[in-house]
Amino acid sequence: MTVSPEPRRHGEPAVASTPPADARDGELARASAEIAVRLDRRGVRLSGRESPGQLVDLLDAVERFEATAERAGADLLIDEPVHGAVYPLKPDDPAFVLPVRVEGESVADFTDRVVDATARAARAHRHRHTHDRE
């Protein structure tokens, strides 16, 4: 004979199937650390006070910038600074250089500048292709 669990009565809490808060906090900390490493490899300065959400937004903006620059034919190995440097040695085109975060600049302001740089890179790409056809 199979015994079925009693149905939940109105007002009784459902059994949670989510991990405990400390496990979620640990996962969030690991994910944030991984994103911070990825941003650091791209030369993005972090203060260590960025929230997980800010890190995700910033990484998304940086990856969109890089994808736009690559579609335009930029060589990110040339257009990005070497590890430890602030600016690239000899960029092909300044439009394809990721902005540098200024000391004390908020994550939101820096993310906005990266978004603006992405738009400039896209315009530079269109400008290049328009003149290539002429």
Q: Are 62 and 44 in contact (CB under 8 A)?
A: yes
DSSP state of 46: -
Token pair belonging to 81: 């600074």
φ, ψ at 76 (rounded to 5°): -65, -20
For position 93, what pLDDT does the model report?
74
For position 72, what pLDDT does the model report?
82
pLDDT in tens, the chain (134 residues): 555 455 545 555 444 455 567 778 889 999 999 999 999 998 899 999 999 999 999 999 999 999 998 888 777 654 454 455 544 455 667 888 899 999 999 999 999 999 999 999 998 866 555 544 44
For position 70, what pLDDT does the model report?
86
Distance of CA 120 to the CA centre of its chain: 18
For position 88, what pLDDT does the model report?
46
For position 74, what pLDDT does the model report?
76
For position 25, what pLDDT does the model report?
82
Whose tokens are 């002429």? That residue is 134
For position 1, what pLDDT does the model report?
54
Token pair belonging to 63: 């990856």
Distances (CA, A) of 111 to 38, 50, 101: 15, 12, 9
For position 79, what pLDDT does the model report?
46
Whose tokens are 């079925």? That residue is 4
